[in-house]
Structure 1
Amino acid sequence: MTNINIPSSIRSLISKGLKIEKIFRKLTEKSSGSDIRRAMVDFEHVILKAPIINPPKIVCLGLNYKDHAEESGSPIPREPIIFMKPRTAIIGPEEHIIKPDFVQQLDYEIELAIIIGKRGRGIPISEARNYIFGYTIFNDVSARDIQFKDGQWTRGKSFDTFAPIGPYITTIEQINDPNNLHMVTKVNGEIRQNSSTKLMIFNVYEIVHHISRVMTLEPCDIIATGTPSGVAAFMKPEPKFLKNGDVIEMEIENIGMLRNMVVER
């Protein structure tokens, strides 16, 4: 097979500004059919990990869907509300969400996550797309009892394993309109969230613009864009918090399905 220098990680690839499609096109053009077959791996034998495990930062939006703000009894934000999550919270598909035995109110939040493709600050809305590499699914797992007790979000959302992402990164070339993607959350097969990114208060490009006015965005930064209504804490007639053995499946159009099980320890 032709010797082509391929970055060893997605972070390296994104940081160098390389296009995945161009790399694989060059590989296939300069390789024989037998070379390609030998290089391929049966997907059934692959264990998917989180597509990014060491982002420079994870920036999250709160209350970015009107229906979620309303179900929580919160005012509709007039500008994006942002908070941070540690990268040590990241896990990938099929990995376990660990529920500490002292957490009683564990919750899920399906979110479209933006993967930043290049460094930028003060990015105009009209240019925001040029700074995005792609998109993935983000589950903003939350310990509501701790969150509500603290009166702010950091501790209740920062436990290890509280940021499942994946299963893939879909590049911007493969998604025509990130602001119109269907999204569904199921818990043990029951639909809990059924919405669309078109209902976001601040769209993808506005989010990139607003955050970049506050902090420099870097390649592989993850921006979680908020969740719609249907979280466990505000279900009627009573909350349906996650418990040991529950399986959460999250799907976003053109990205795939992110599945994780809750395990109490």
Structure 2
Amino acid sequence: MSGGSRRGCRRGSWFDLFTGDRYRGGRHATFHRPLETYPVLARAGAVLPLAADPFASVAEVPDGLELRLFPGEGTSHLVEDHGEAEPAPEDRNVTRFVQSLQVREDGRADVVLRIEPTTGPDPLAVREVTLDVVGAATVESVSIVPTDGEEQTLDAAQVGVHEDELLSPALRITLGRVDLARGLEVRLTGLEAVAETLVQDAFDLLDAAEIPFIDKQIAWRAISELSGLELATELGSQSLPASLRGALVERASIIPPW
């Protein structure tokens, strides 16, 4: 079973945290999901810091961080304290993430993530850090440049696709033990986007639908031959259940990660 959830998306573009799909903003959209899931959107350019151990005590600053990166241009902040009952502003430790993206003529992307030195009274500076790049399948090279050090190129063994039990797959880059008090810059050169899945997703939706076979054929032909507004208009004119039509239109509205 599935249902639709209508959301208002501000201008820009947005990634679904659980599927990794990217959508244009500046509109209202209906997201069709199984009843046990729901859409959670992150703006392109955001960095979402997560504790590496989801079962760790929330009263303690995590020793390991997973930084989930949604390609784009933007600034994010990690604000932490040491478990004070009522932390005042002066008790907070703040780490700022600044991301920039440049799309190359060959379709690959170069991303620079600047992690500024953590500020605050008592930051947990040295941590085990991994970087999960949403929407990326491979990368040509990864280098780390500490604020006051020399550039280091990561080994290929430190990069690979990570399948998460809950969140979308991502390209995982193991940065190792990082001194956040010093700050650093991570340079991702030649990111390759994941392959488009519209055709397979549409086939799965139509295959599971309890509608006449001829209606499936007509919808499938439209999906195979059209795109964008033409596809949405054609699906809107067909004799499809509203929920199926909405799910197909949503899949057709997904755009590349960059």
Q: Which has the higher strand share?
A: 2
Indicate the structure whose relative CO is greater, using CA pairs within 8 Å and at least 6 residues apart. 1
Fold shared per TM-score above 0.5? no
Provide TM-score, normalisation by structure 2. Answer: 0.27
Q: Which has the higher helix share?
A: 1
